[in-house]
Amino acid sequence: MSRLPSALREDRLDSVLLLRAGAPRDSAVTRLSIGKRKARREPGRPRQGQGAKVISVTVERHLLARSDALAKNMGVTGAGMIARGLKTMLAAEGKL
């Protein structure tokens, strides 16, 4: 018995059958299996507002350590802490 989840076993079987039927080994076969896996995914985190965008931010180590400790004490995530700070700054400038 295979240790792969059934969805991956089915994708692998589909790819093998397509290759045996003469399909070229190119991105079309890969796209097929990736598309099937995406279609079977559980819904992700619910969208808040207009959704989220992943960004990369550079923060001094000491400031990050202090903000992580505060976030933990407050029971919020680092991203939640940054979002609150941005909202506070925007509100202070009358831009919110």
**Domain locations in the chain as residue ranges:** 6-40, 61-92
The model carries a pTM of: 0.50
Distance CA 13, CA 6 (A): 10
> Which of 28, 3, 51, 1 is closest to 14 using CA atoms?
28
- What is the full per-residue pLDDT of the chain (96 aa) written as tens digits? 456 555 555 656 666 666 666 666 665 556 556 666 666 666 666 777 787 888 999 999 999 999 999 999 999 999 999 999 999 999 999 988
DSSP letter string, 61-74: HHHHHHHHHHHHHH
